[in-house]
Amino acid sequence: MKGRRIFVAGATIIVLALAAAYGGRAAHAWQSRLEPVSMPSSPAGDAAAVARGANLAAIGDCIGCHTAPDGEPFAGGLPLQTPYGVIYSTNITPDKDTGIGRWSLDAFTRAMRHGVSRDGHLLYPAFPYPHFTRMSDADIASLYAWLMSREPVNARAPKNELQFPLGFRPIMAAWNLLYLHPGPDESSSSTADPEAARGRYLVDSVGHCGACHTPLNRLGAERRDSALQGGTMEGWDAPALTNLSTRPRPWTQAQLVSYLRTGFASEHGASAGPMRAVTRLLADASAEDVQAIAAYLIALQSNTRATPGDAAASPNSSVSRVSVAAQPGNGASLFVAACASCHGNSAPISGGPAHPSLSLGTAVNADSPRNMVRIILDGIDWDDSASAQFMPPFASTFTDAQIAELANYTRTRFTARGAWPSLDADAVARLRKESPQR
């Protein structure tokens, strides 16, 4: 609550200060209305543009934010929980009354580049226009073409539920003056490797990976000096993408491609939490673009332990020596009762290429226990993907104290790092409240 009060007070002060300091530039708080169109603009009927747009929509996971539980795809209404209140995603189907059916390409481009709706009101950066602004004109036009080819759905999003004065949209003009750098980023094209350059463009623009994997400041903006160094989203930690070579087995390009396209990597484990939906959509993206994303992420690694994309990673010796013998205590009993049938040494599916040891998992090796607790609470839901990984949720099975004991025991058993000192029943209770499953 204290942090939220600081944000509200700070945002108000910033608006007043910027209005005084920037004079005429404060007019950016009110943008002109763009006239509605009766028919979508070109290239909405271009089949090639529509196909390119479908690929971009998969990389950007548009459906993930613009589809409510049990709602129609892209019709909006999903409640996005923020530290400052609830923002409901908008309808981006071509419905003329409640969607973007009367938007011209110019109106759509303005929203993507500057965060301004067709009627002139300012959008909130829960819609990641600070990333989308980096898309090329051609890609924005292709995404527009694809969205205009969707089935119209008449669905109006609920009103946002934000703390005062954040419901006053002109306040976003101050935020944009500080944190929005509109226009494509040409520097990615200067990367020596064309594949990595393409990957950087996709990560920084339509993929908006930094929206989850970069820490935020008090005003909800990404800390540009810590790009891709890890963040928190929907109650989960989004791990740093800049130290993939320091994991128990260094990530390779091949392992990243497998993970991004199937939600599973044989030497690391399965995707979970918000990343689960991302990998489902990336399965529909072009193989070349996913290869490019993986190439760029590998290029970010400065540690010499990083291995070539087609090389086999060798086991980490400190992990392989960890004893997995049963240990006394309630955590051990809970593990035997709930986990050993899949994760124990003698389990038929444990340790094979389809079920790597927990000693290799990101969650159990992380500095924070957040993701370990979330996986135990929420599980990994079943889908029909190529990997078809599944883990049942235990939120209603175990108490907060039992989950803390189980998570700490699992970490002690499968790594050399010991229990999380901060993880107890109270910590689990707080994590339960952070991210109700949707």
The DSSP annotation for 130-147 comes to HHHTTS-HHHHHHHHHHH
* pLDDT value of residue 253: 97
Q: Percent helix, strand and coil across the chain, each rounded to 5?
A: 45, 5, 50
Residue pointed to by tokens 């795809």: 73
Answer yes or no: is pLDDT of 200 > 60.
Answer: yes
- pLDDT class of 81 with cuts at 50, 70, 90: confident
What is the reported pTM?
0.86
Give the chain's count of helices (H) and strands (E).
19, 7
Query: Cβ distance 283 to 54 under 8 Å?
Result: no
**Domain over 326-434 is classified CATH 1.10.760.10:** yes
- Higher per-residue pLDDT: 322 or 396: 396
Give the helix/strand (H/E) hosting 85: strand 85-88
Q: pLDDT (tens digit, 9 = 90+) per residue, 220-244?
A: 999 999 999 999 988 899 999 999 9
3-state secondary structure of 120: coil
Answer yes or no: is pLDDT of 9 > 60.
Answer: no
% of the chain surpassing 90 pLDDT: 66
> What's the mean per-residue pLDDT of the chain?
85
Query: Cβ distance 156 to 110 under 8 Å?
Result: no
The whole-number average pLDDT for the span 259-284 is 92
Q: pLDDT (tens digit, 9 = 90+) per residue, 165-192?
A: 888 888 899 999 999 999 887 765 555 7
Q: Which two tokens stand for residue 47?
A: 């089949």
Buried b (16+ CB within 10 A) or exposed e, 359-385: bbbbbbbbeebbbbbbbbbbbbeeeeb
Range with lowest mean pLDDT among 321-330, 335-344, 348-357, 374-383: 321-330
* pLDDT value of residue 233: 87
Residues in the chain: 438
The whole-number average pLDDT for the span 400-414 is 95
Q: pLDDT (tens digit, 9 = 90+) per residue, 25-73?
A: 544 556 899 999 998 888 888 999 999 999 999 999 999 999 999 999 9
Cα–Cα–Cα angle for 176, 182, 187, rounded to 5 degrees = 135
Helices (H), 30-187: 47-60, 62-65, 105-114, 129-132, 137-148, 171-179
Q: For residues 435 and 395, give the distance between their C-alpha atoms in angstroms, rounded to a whole number.
A: 12
Q: For residues 347 and 405, give the distance between their C-alpha atoms in angstroms, rounded to a whole number.
A: 22
Q: For residues 31 and 152, give the distance between their C-alpha atoms in angstroms, rounded to a whole number.
A: 27
Q: pLDDT (tens digit, 9 = 90+) per residue, 115-131?
A: 999 999 999 999 999 99
What are the structural domain ranges in the chain? 28-184, 189-299, 326-434
* pLDDT value of residue 326: 41
CA nearest to 409, candidates 348, 338, 320, 313: 338
- pLDDT class of 313 with cuts at 50, 70, 90: very low
Q: Which two tokens stand for residue 188?
A: 């990615």
The DSSP annotation for 218-273 comes to TTS-B-GGGTTS-EEETTEEE--SS-GGGSSS---HHHHHHHHHHSEETTTEE--T
Give the helix/strand (H/E) hosting 296: helix 287-299
Residue pointed to by tokens 């209005």: 19
Range with lowest mean pLDDT among 207-211, 233-237, 382-386, 431-435: 382-386
Q: In sequence order, which residues have a C-beta less than 8 Å from that of residue 396 and are 6 or more positions away?
A: none
CB count within 10 Å of CB 87 equals 22
What does the DSSP 8-state code read for residue 87? E
* pLDDT value of residue 433: 87
CB count within 10 Å of CB 308 equals 10
CA nearest to 101, candidates 155, 63, 172: 155
Q: For residues 208 and 134, give the distance between their C-alpha atoms in angstroms, rounded to a whole number.
A: 10
Most trustworthy range by pLDDT among 190-194, 296-300, 354-358, 378-382: 296-300
The DSSP annotation for 298-351 comes to HHT--STT---TTSPPPPPHHHHTS--S--SSHHHHHHHHHTHHHHSTT-TTTT
Q: For residues 118 and 48, give the distance between their C-alpha atoms in angstroms, rounded to a whole number.
A: 26
3-state secondary structure of 1: coil
- Quick one: how far is CA 249 from the chain centroid? 23
Query: Cβ distance 83 to 220 under 8 Å?
Result: yes
